[in-house]
Amino acid sequence: MDAADVVAKSKHCIVFTGAGVSAESGVPTFRGAGGLWERYRPEELATPEAFAKDPELVWRWYRWRQEVVHRAAPNPAHYAIAELEALGVVKAVITQNVDGLHQRAGSRNVVELHGSLWRARCVKCGAVYRLEKPVEEVPPRCPRCGGLLRPDVVWFGEPLPQEAWARAVEHAAEADVVLVAGTSGVVYPAAYIPHIAKKHGAVVVEVNVEESAITPIADFFLRGRAGEVLPRLAEEVKKRLSTRRESSPRGPSAIGSSQP
């Protein structure tokens, strides 16, 4: 059996993604960060301490990131993942990304472990606001109470949103396949997700341009760019599904019933 077979035959395949999946959309990973903000390390900006000290600087960085993502579009990796969900194969996309590109590509069941660039939260009254486009003034203020707004993302040293974490762990425990793509697997607790799935018996399929901290537990390592490997994998999975459908004695309904 190859990776496409494993995915095609799965009952509960989940996808776990990181910044590498958005790299081909032109959204830099933290390691490959370029341009304007090169001289800052994310650990210096994505922290509660940095925000307390200089909210304007932190917001200017987030506004730049919002602008990059706003101009960007989902790439073939995002679309392949969305297609696997539409086929009924992928049950959930658990992402560390904050860019919203999975949703823009059509993924429906997305668990955002690290929040979203497209929400801001009032540090004073807790109100959460959806953002349609990059913020204009920095730092933005709460229309309700005048308090300071912060990006509704998870900063270094902060706990993950409870509800998202609980959903992710549930999916990981139920998964029989976890497709890991474009993550270094070093940011915890998020990186526990593939390990939890593996412990519960899931097959781990990894897509990355290089080996990562997940590679030692990977059953299949597909080396290459996510935007090239994932569409090929999705194509293969589609072929296997239609072969099974043709060879199944009960016809198409047999597939339907095995994937409620």
Residue 182 binds to ligand NAD (criterion: CB under 6 A): yes
3-state DSSP of 42-97: HHHHCCHHHHHHCHHHHHHHHHHHHHHHHHCCCCHHHHHHHHHHHCCCEEEEEECC
Of 12, 78, 102, 114, catalytic: 114
Q: Decide: 214 and 17 in contact? Cβ < 8 Å.
A: no
Indicate the SS3 state at residue 110: strand
Among Zn ion, ligand NAD, none, partner that 209 touches (CB below 5 to 8 angstroms by kind): ligand NAD
Among Zn ion, ligand NAD, none, partner that 125 touches (CB below 5 to 8 angstroms by kind): Zn ion
Q: How many CB atoms lie within 10 A of CB 31?
A: 10
Bridge partner residues of 115 (DSSP): 153
Q: Which residue lies nearer to ligand NAD by CB, 9 or 183? A: 183
Q: Decide: 177 and 6 in contact? Cβ < 8 Å.
A: yes
Residues engaged in binding Zn ion (CB under 5 A):
122, 124-125, 127, 142, 144-145, 147
Q: Which residue lies nearer to Zn ion by CB, 126 or 252? A: 126
Cα(99)–Cα(73) distance, integer angstroms: 10
Quote the tokens at residue 219.
């059953």
Residues 93-132, one symbol each (x = binds ligand NAD by CB under 6 A, - = not), give ---xxxx--------------x------------------
Of 20-28, 121-129, 139-147, 166-174, the window that binds ligand NAD (rule: CB under 6 A) is: 20-28
Quote the tokens at residue 175.
């998964």
Work out which of 212, 220, 237, 241 binds ligand NAD, going by CB under 6 A. 212
Least CB distance to Zn ion at residue 161 (A): 19
Active site residue 102: no
Q: Decide: 73 and 90 in contact? Cβ < 8 Å.
A: no
- Residue ranges in 40-99 that form contacts with ligand NAD under rule CB under 6 A: 96-99
Task: Decide the pairing of beta strands 128-130 and 115-122.
Answer: antiparallel
For binding to ligand NAD (CB under 6 A), which residues are involved? Answer: 18-20, 22-24, 27, 29-31, 96-99, 114, 182-184, 187, 207-210, 212, 225-226
**Catalytic positions:** 114
